[in-house]
Structure 1
Amino acid sequence: MPPPAELGRNPGKAAATLDVTRHALLFMAALLLLLFVVASVGLVQIALQQNTRATQQSLFYVDKAIQTREKSMLATLRDYAYWGEAYQNLHVTVDYEWAYIRQNLGPSLFEDFAYEGVFVLDPQGRTAYAVVNGQRVAVSLAQWLKQDVAELLEQARGQTEDEEPVVGFVQVDGQPALLAVTGLTTGGDPQVSALAGPPSLLLFVDLLSPEKLQALGEDFGVTNLRLATDPVDAQATPALTLASVGAQPLLLRWEPAQPGRQLLYWILPLLALGGTIFALITWLTLRRAIASAREVDASYASLYASQQALAASEVRFRDVAEAATDWIWEADAELRLTYLSTRFQALTGHAASAWLGHPLGELMQCPGGLDVWLETCSSRATVSHSRQCHYRACDGELRTCHLSLRRIADGQAAGGYRGTVSDITEELQAQARIEHLLLHDALTGLPNRHRMQEFLEAKLKALPSAAKPLVMLSIDLDRFKPVNDSFGHEVGDQVLAEVSQRLRLALHEGDLVARMGNDEFILIVSGISAAEEVEQLCVGLIGAIEQPFEIDNHRIFLGASIGVAMAPTDTRQADELLRFAEIALYQAKGAGRSAWCFYANDMNERVIERRQLENDLRHALANEELSLVLQPRYSVNGLRMMAAEALVRWQHPQRGLLGPDSFIAIAESTGLIIPLSAWVLRAACREALSWSEALIVSVNLSPVEFRGGQLVAQIRSALEETGLPPGRLELELTENVMLEDAEGALVLMQELKGLGVRLSMDDFGTGYSSLSYLRAFPFDGLKIDRSFMTDLHAADDSKAIIQAIIGLGHALSLTVTAEGVETQEQLELLRQYGCDEAQGYLLNRPMPPEELRLLL
């Protein structure tokens, strides 16, 4: 083309040049439009593929969430249905007190598991027992469900002998509900005899409310999981159809992730902007070319700029195409590679040139080989085939992919194949991680309760013998809670991980160690034939755990208690073996730290007795079977009554009058100490108001109350409710309160002092750090432990200790009280030593409130 200067001197040539320029620009504009359309279509296709993958993944997680809910409900149902006591009290006879009042099958299923419905159907199909939303009701299953589930119930009866529950979905008041039902059995309990005839059925109902569905979806990364609201919503995707018992199907809907939408949001505007700029430049160039030949130079410049914009658009299009997660390949009829897209090197690490000309079978490892697969594929060019294969990346890692293949149908005689490869390694690894997390503890990597249960049942199916028993060890760490309190949960987690490693090293291959809870572990060991070997293993385990833990420049010392149960000596049932090991662990912890204990039959009886006493105590609190007694406290000089200590007694219907030693420990371990202490506090405050003299009333506090967080509010409420002046209330607490959480106890005690009450340290002299507590904590008095009174008249060391305690108390301006005064000689010695107050049988025994009022 002539230069612009020549075109300016030759108008005819310039006009022809302008015409060629105009046609060239129009052609380029059409080409750019075509490229924009192709790029947009390709981009939309990529975005749709990304959205499709995200939708498929969300469908997998929703299905997994529903399966997890079903498995959890079936596990809970088995625990209750295959239980000898449940068979005795819900099938042989229906005992409402056992089931509901004692909470063996009552409100706890709603409070702990959120099961809205619990029903027991007798062999004739009638509702014999029903609990709805934690309350016992007189309503039948059909009335509450408002539909007939007889087919599901009949199926459950047929599977009772196999102990296999049945599960299904129904719709209750517009909400999906998960039903799990099975027959009641003795659970292998030799003490319960099975009755002939059809079994009773136990049925749990879990209403999947909108809140439950949404929370269930969020646990698996799914947004707005819900029941389809209307026909339009039901036609949308993605959706999961639940296996409904009734005729009406139940359809779940959710909002899947839309990664392709973000891609379109960013890239399409850029393409549109490029096309708009080029069109504007073309229009201006044509206008100037027609207006004046003198602007030919400018037109050429505009044309050059337009070509640059077109090149940039093509580069952007290639970048978008290569951003896909797949790589494209072509091969001849012998499957020798003839083309590999640039994404091949980015995804595999191999250079494309290194593989061109090589057979595809050398790169891809497919089950049975590619040749065998090709023989089974259709010869039609319109049919695509895909299967899962493997290939070795450049770094040596074996990757998993989907290989798609299609014959080339372009009229070539030689023929060939083309297709894509999608790498799914990360997706499979994510799925494997999910399955691993379902069966393993996230912190330690040990098997969890579900995996332990599977392992134990498999071992028991192998029928262990008395000569080669299966040994279960239940291990609980001693002194672990202070680790979390003192060093933080991060250090505590590192300690648990190290404990897990030490337990693994102590076992042989084929044995199992599982984490059951915070600091509880289960070991399942085989290959042991004698009790001496079990004891050696326990010694080794305790010794391994007692070795110091060096973490973050801290030396941490722990201990362990172990309970041992063996199959078949103790039982052949998995649940019973676990329960017996826990019972033995409880006995080991009661015997002292770093101890082990073998299960014995009488242990179960003591546990049952303790559980019965716990239920009776709950009943006593609800029915006011408790009574208050008061023991006066006198000044040593003058024997004037100064205060009275409030004590509790329990008039048990069968056991008679029980002192606190019989039930306080149970109340503390079960949490009943909170309502029990609240009752004593209010009763003591009300009684003190009736006295003719303004004496102090003393109430004991449990260390458990200091952990609850409601102690200050409870005492403030009791004072406001009864009207007792705060200065007349004295709270007695032991050193255990400070040992467990000194900083927290100090804050609480300062708040209590802010109420105006008195604080006294009980059982002083029995702890190793009481002196530091007396100096740092806001006590008003201390009570010398009764153990120092026993041999006071004969033991010089006891006299010296009491003199030192009295001197220390007076130096700190504390009121010193001696407990357990039983002889006149003891009282005289206390008077000589300058003790302030005394309490004991010599002065007065604990008495009913009315006797104390007469004494005053």
Structure 2
Amino acid sequence: MTPKHASSDVTRADTTSLSLARTSLLKFVGLLAGVFLLAGLSLFYLARDLDRTEQLESAFYTQKAVQALEKTSRSTIKDYAFWGDTYRHLHVEVDTDWAFTRQNVGPTLYTDFGFRGLFVVNDANRTVYSVVNGELEAVAVEDWLQQSMSDILDKARAGAETETTITTFINVGGVPALVAAAAITPGTDPTVTRDDRLPSVLIFVDFLDRAKLESIGSDFGVEDLHVATDDEIGGAPAFPLGADGSAGSLRWTPEKPGRRLLGTGLPFIGLGALLVCFMTFVILRRTTAGALALDASYASLQNSQDSLAISEARFRDVVEASSDWVWEIDEDWRFTYLSERFEVVTGLSRAAWIGQAINDLLSTELGSLSQWLAIPNRRPDISLLCQYVDTKGRERITRLSARGMPNKGFRGTATDVTEEVEARRRIEFLSQHDALTGLPNRTRLREFLDGKLKAMPSVEQPLVMLSLDLDRFKPVNDLLGHAAGDLVLNEVSSRLADCVRHGDLVARVGGDEFVLILTDMSSQEEVEALCQRLIDSIEGPIRIDDQEVFVSASMGIAMAPNDACEAAELLRYADIALYEAKSGGRNTWRFYAGDMNIRIIERRGLENDLRFAIKHGELRLHFQPRYRIADGQMMGAEALVRWQHPVRGLIPPDVFIPIAEESGLILSLSNWVLDAACSSAARWPKNLFVSVNLSPTEFKRGNLVERVQKVLHSSGINPARVELEITESVMLEDTEGALGVMHTLKRLGLRIAMDDFGTGYSSLSYLRAFPFDGLKIDRSFLSRLDESDDDKAIIQAIVGLGRALSLTVTAEGIETAEHLNLLKTVSCDEGQGYYLSCPLDDSKFNALVGIAASADVENSV
């Protein structure tokens, strides 16, 4: 070849190499462009899916909010409709004074629960009692709601025998209203006899106005919950109220997480595309020269076999880079090909399984795998879960997909989904079990109980429900922390499970509340023997780190069919029995009895009477003088509340104060006591102070500082003449919060004393950390002076401690001259008790102040 021809060949080779280089690079750029396009589309799809998921979740929570509202209305109306007193005063006869004036079924339902309308319809379908917006009105329910109520009345009366309530949504002037109705029955009150008339119907009406819906939406995390307007009807999302949305529809504004994702992700994808374009330009220049040089060196080695090898290698790399393994079988269902990923994923040998039947490796719950593959017209995109056993003997789960081949065989992929399936099973387990203890939760308890009740337990073989609540558990959390409390709950759960049989159920339904469902127990003695075993097991020491913790339990027992045949009633009766066990001293058990329900009804009546008494002046204040021990001079008096019930007579404070604390009336009661005590003391001589007891509940809620400021301002009393007595439980429950409130009270100028000193856990540390002015020695130390010399030493030590901390020490319960002489010998500051003076009403105390301002203690008694 001449040099001229050689030069021509090189030029053609260079041109070919350059063209190939540019073509390859353009293909690469096209591939990257496709990747970016796919990423962008995926981002749009993911954003749309996020928005759709958020919309579904908000619809779910809207439904839950409406269901919760209906459930609350049904529960509230049930408490009032199935009550013997309601039957007597609103069905047998309509007693407006009992219902409205005394607020048994009256304005509190508007102020406390928000019911805009309250109606009673008698057996002739005539409205005989109406309360609208908390005011007594003479209006028929059908006129007020502007529609017929006959269907609702019929449904409510149909549930009279089963004590079933109904709720429905109606449209009232364009505003949805929730109507709850129930027939008025005596419930379980044995003192009331039903008459032959149709039962009257109690109706509560709650309007879903804008404010109500915003409050509900805030509680359930649904934004802008409102009633759909005419312009919004037909749009989404929406939740219909009433039959086919007859009462209107609810609309809301779901969040748009997808839009936020697009706003974050698209700029990054665009930036990546710009970088790729820049890199493509740089690479194009470098690869052009490189491709020319490479083509010149290896042009002779490129042939069709090399291209085929590269294609096969590319396919193999793609297959092996996947998390799936690829398989092929012939028409006899035997493996003809398994990818290398088969060994990586399963740990099994490819060579050993080539030629083996696929049914020998994989199994399904729907029959053999070959039967599934042979289904005529089977959709090729449907996958199937299969099981196999790996080399370690563990069962694994794989998702198999398959397509037919022209030779009548099949090929497909297999993906290991063992972790995914186990996670789903775990989620299903947690949905019915308590996450801390692993015991069944309330959902599983209800399913189990419903199943057992459908089996129709008999009197000979009853179904026993045992409601159990731990005693002395709260101090464990308060003193040792919640981690220690969790250890105690786990240990108690294990002990409970060990005490029952295989077919029984132990469920955790609350913080330290458990429910046991027991079968195959034929006698009360057998149940009591189990209760004793449970108490003995729970009372055993529980070791936490280097110390032992002790708890006990109280139990309430109800049985089906003896007590009830409905799950809800059985649970309620067991709780009632549990309440009796706790009232009876704890660490014991009680079987449900009918009179327990009567006592609860009486307690509820007493609660209503107390609410009436606070508002209508049935309470009285007595004052017990406090004297200086050294010279007998009166220093002040402690205010003690008394309740003179018009029917029951004098009710002791230890009866009605716990009711006030449990029912939330303690704030109203305390306001009355503070105001009355300060107003009376403002008229006393300026050297006398008044002491008022505070409930621990007032430190948790109720704006104590603002309430005290208001009383001081209205009474005009000098704050230095007011002493507030608190117990140590205030510091135990919320140390930091209580300390802040007490410092604020001190800045107002008030005195603060620790009541019942010596009966708590760590009173010495509290005396140093909290701004106390005085402490009161618990009366129990004085009452045992004749029996124990240790109590004398304790009193002397407390007096010395108070003097060291500059605190005024007051002794309670001085009943004898010996008590007074002992307190003088130890130089106790002040004292009170029946030996010095019993509690006096306002007029007698004023008389005592007038004649005993300078008298000696012994002469004044």
The interval holding the TM-score normalised by the smaller chain is 0.7 to 0.9
2:377 partner amino acid? S
Q: Is structure 2 residue 21 aligned with structure 1 residue 21?
A: no
Q: Is structure 2 residue 451 aligned with structure 1 residue 452?
A: no
User: Match for residue 364 of structure 2?
Assistant: 365
Q: Hey, what's the Cα distance between the residues in 1 that align with 2:326 and 2:158?
A: 55
Aligned runs of 1:366-515 on 2, under 5 Å?
367-374=366-373, 376-378=375-377, 384-386=380-382, 388-392=384-388, 394=390, 398=395, 403-407=400-404, 412=406, 414-417=407-410, 429=422, 431-515=424-508
User: Match for residue 245 of structure 2?
Assistant: 246
Contact 1:482 1:740 in 2 (8 A): no
Give, in angstroms, the shift of residue 753 of structure 1.
4.6
Contact 2:497 2:506 in 1 (8 A): yes
1:16 partner amino acid? R
Q: Any idea what SS the aligned residue of 1:471 has?
A: strand
Aligned length: 825
Contact 1:686 1:722 in 2 (8 A): yes
Contact 1:484 1:491 in 2 (8 A): yes
Aligned runs of 1:304-703 on 2, under 5 Å?
332=330, 336=334, 359-361=357-359, 362-363=361-362, 365=364, 367-374=366-373, 376-378=375-377, 384-386=380-382, 388-392=384-388, 394=390, 398=395, 403-407=400-404, 412=406, 414-417=407-410, 429=422, 431-636=424-629, 639-703=632-696
Measured on the aligned residues, the alpha-carbon RMSD in Å equals 5.8
Gaps of 5+ in 1: 290-294, 305-310
Q: Which moved more, 1:844-853 or 1:813-822?
A: 813-822
Change (3 A) 1:23 1:647: closer
Contact 2:227 2:249 in 1 (8 A): no
Aligned runs of 1:87-166 on 2, under 5 Å?
89=86, 92=91
User: For each residue in 1:441-471, what CA deviation from the matched residue of structure 2 results, as whole angstroms up to 9, or x when unmatched?
Assistant: 2322222233323333333333334433333
Change (3 A) 1:686 1:199: closer
Q: Hey, what's the Cα distance between the residues in 2 that align with 1:59 and 1:169?
A: 24
Q: Which moved more, 1:350-359 or 1:101-110?
A: 101-110
Q: Which moved more, 1:519-528 or 1:437-446?
A: 437-446
Change (3 A) 1:263 1:705: closer
Contact 1:727 1:756 in 2 (8 A): yes
Q: Hey, what's the Cα distance between the residues in 2 that align with 1:806 and 1:370?
A: 84
Q: Hey, what's the Cα distance between the residues in 1 that align with 2:311 and 2:272?
A: 9
Give, in angstroms, the shift of residue 508 of structure 1.
0.9
Give, in angstroms, the shift of residue 495 of structure 1.
1.6
Q: Any idea what SS the aligned residue of 1:365 has?
A: coil
Contact 1:329 1:339 in 2 (8 A): yes
Q: Which moved more, 1:328-337 or 1:42-51?
A: 42-51
Give, in angstroms, the shift of residue 554 of structure 1.
3.7
User: For each residue in 1:775-834, what CA deviation from the matched residue of structure 2 results, as whole angstroms up to 9, or x when unmatched?
Assistant: 886654455555677798x88969956984796478546555555556778767866776
Give, in angstroms, the shift of residue 530 of structure 1.
3.0
Q: Hey, what's the Cα distance between the residues in 2 that align with 1:264 and 1:342?
A: 38
Give, in angstroms, the shift of residue 694 of structure 1.
2.8
Q: Hey, what's the Cα distance between the residues in 2 that align with 1:626 and 1:140?
A: 37
Change (3 A) 1:588 1:26: closer
User: Match for residue 307 of structure 1?
Assistant: none
Give, in angstroms, the shift of residue 486 of structure 1.
1.6
User: Match for residue 728 of structure 1?
Assistant: 721
User: Match for residue 308 of structure 1?
Assistant: none
Contact 1:239 1:254 in 2 (8 A): no
Change (3 A) 1:156 1:624: closer
Q: Which moved more, 1:209-218 or 1:9-18?
A: 209-218
2:13 partner amino acid? T
2:534 partner amino acid? L
Change (3 A) 1:75 1:211: closer
User: Match for residue 7 of structure 2?
Assistant: 11
User: For each residue in 1:62-104, what CA deviation from the matched residue of structure 2 results, as whole angstroms up to 9, or x when unmatched?
Assistant: 6765675576566556645666843764894788876998688
Change (3 A) 1:488 1:617: same
2:502 partner amino acid? E
Q: Any idea what SS the aligned residue of 2:494 has?
A: helix
Q: Hey, what's the Cα distance between the residues in 1 that align with 2:156 and 2:296?
A: 86
Change (3 A) 1:322 1:675: farther
Give, in angstroms, the shift of residue 378 of structure 1.
2.1
Q: Which moved more, 1:458-467 or 1:774-783?
A: 774-783
Change (3 A) 1:389 1:70: farther
1:623 partner amino acid? H
Q: Hey, what's the Cα distance between the residues in 2 that align with 1:150 and 1:302?
A: 97
Change (3 A) 1:742 1:582: same
Change (3 A) 1:190 1:165: closer
Q: Which moved more, 1:516-525 or 1:147-156?
A: 147-156
Give, in angstroms, the shift of residue 164 of structure 1.
8.1
1:642 partner amino acid? M
Give, in angstroms, the shift of residue 601 of structure 1.
3.4
Q: Which moved more, 1:746-755 or 1:451-460?
A: 746-755
Change (3 A) 1:27 1:162: farther
Contact 1:407 1:416 in 2 (8 A): yes
Q: Any idea what SS the aligned residue of 2:558 has?
A: strand
Contact 1:184 1:201 in 2 (8 A): yes
Change (3 A) 1:460 1:298: closer
Contact 1:377 1:385 in 2 (8 A): no
Gaps of 5+ in 2: 301-308, 851-861
Change (3 A) 1:466 1:806: same
